[in-house]
């Protein structure tokens, strides 16, 4: 495996910086709502037999008045995939199962059903290849066309600044990926999803890191605006029931189909951090 240690450290620094800025903005929203809720951070260390430096991460969790449950995780890990899992990962194989990875992952479940839930993650992963992946998608229990249009417009502008083909490609990827086959419904109103933006050399790394940074900046710009737009909306018991039923669909996707959940479980990640994406309460009618 090519040594991407320096690049991994650079990506990790960005992910940690982005986490700090997102958490500060979310705490500011709680203050605006009259809440003193703050993120609680828990460090965790990965364990792998024969690996002296398996890495670990930090799980940030907040439960507040606006954000019923929001988790923001950053992890940096390295080791070897199990042979059968290695065969499914870009650039890895049973003969070359070594990997390193660093990334940020965020899921927010909101108290008010009119405020959209959201998912965002970006990552840098190295096997025999090195690449960036990630994206952001909006998951409203009660969709608003204006929110959907604004969210997509911000992501479209970000993509267009880097490559004129990115938005349509990555939007379709999100539409295809965030789909629940057994329900025949999408998990939300979409966004972008990308993977395997490969870094053949330092120039490729810098190019793809720049795009990944801008995806993070786009999220930090647009999502707090949507929260502030809806967080004081009145809602009925029927609205809350709609939200709880929708959350059940969200949980089904994350437990059955989500590749990030599978990756975390297969690589010895922290269980609480992996499953922080699950909603605090859901119903199945």
For residue 257, what are its two tokens?
């189909």
Gap between the terminal Cα atoms of the chain = 49
Q: What band does 233 get if pLDDT is binned at 50, 70 and 90?
A: very high
Per-residue confidence (pLDDT) for residue 49, from 0 to 100: 66
Enter the CATH code of domain 5-277.
3.40.1500.10
With tokens 């929110």, the residue in question is 147
| Lowest model confidence (mean pLDDT) among 39-48, 157-166, 175-184, 240-249 | 39-48
Per-residue confidence (pLDDT) for residue 2, from 0 to 100: 66
Q: What band does 60 get if pLDDT is binned at 50, 70 and 90?
A: very high
**Is the model more confident about 141 or about 276?**
141
Q: What band does 285 get if pLDDT is binned at 50, 70 and 90?
A: confident
All residues at 6 or more sequence positions from 20 whose CB lies less than 8 Å from its CB, including other chains: none
Residue-averaged pLDDT of the chain: 93
Could you give the angle at the alpha carbon of 70 between the alpha carbons of 101 and 146, nearest 5°? 105
What is the model's pTM? Answer: 0.93
- Residue 197's DSSP bridge partners are 132
All residues at 6 or more sequence positions from 65 whose CB lies less than 8 Å from its CB, including other chains: 30, 33, 34, 35, 37, 111
Catalytic residues: 119
| Lowest model confidence (mean pLDDT) among 46-50, 231-235, 239-243, 258-262 | 46-50
| Lowest model confidence (mean pLDDT) among 80-84, 104-108, 143-147, 164-168 | 80-84
Residue 183: which of 118, 249, 132, 248 has the closest Cα?
249
Q: What is the pLDDT of residues 13-36, one digit of tens each?
A: 999 999 999 999 999 999 999 999
Q: What band does 269 get if pLDDT is binned at 50, 70 and 90?
A: confident
């Amino acid at each position: 495996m090519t040594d991407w240690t320096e690049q991994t450290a650079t990506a990790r620094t960005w992910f940690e910086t982005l986490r700090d800025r997102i958490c500060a903005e979310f705490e500011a929203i709680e203050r605006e709502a009259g809440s003193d809720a703050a993120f609680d951070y828990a460090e965790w260390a990965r364990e792998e037999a024969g690996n002296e430096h398996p890495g670990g991460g930090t799980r940030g969790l907040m439960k507040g008045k606006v954000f019923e449950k929001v988790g923001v995780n950053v992890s940096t890990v390295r080791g070897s995939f199990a042979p059968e899992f290695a065969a499914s990962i870009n650039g890895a194989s049973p003969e070359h199962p070594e990997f390193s990875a660093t990334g940020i992952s965020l899921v927010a479940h909101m108290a008010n059903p009119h405020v959209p839930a959201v998912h965002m993650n970006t990552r840098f992963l190295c096997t025999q290849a090195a690449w960036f992946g990630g994206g952001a998608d909006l998951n409203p229990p009660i969709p608003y066309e204006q929110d959907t249009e604004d969210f997509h417009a911000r992501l479209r502008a970000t993509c267009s600044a880097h490559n004129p083909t990115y938005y349509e490609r990555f939007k379709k990827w999100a539409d295809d990926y965030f789909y629940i086959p057994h329900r025949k419904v999408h998990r939300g109103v979409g966004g972008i999803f990308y993977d395997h933006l490969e870094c053949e050399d330092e120039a490729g790394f810098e190019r793809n890191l720049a795009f990944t940074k801008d995806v993070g900046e786009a999220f930090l710009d647009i999502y707090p605006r949507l929260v502030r737009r809806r967080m004081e909306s009145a809602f009925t018991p029927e609205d809350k029931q709609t939200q709880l039923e929708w959350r059940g669909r969200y949980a089904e996707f994350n437990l059955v189909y989500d590749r990030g959940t599978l990756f975390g479980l297969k690589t010895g990640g922290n269980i609480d951090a992996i499953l922080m994406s699950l909603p605090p309460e859901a119903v199945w009618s």
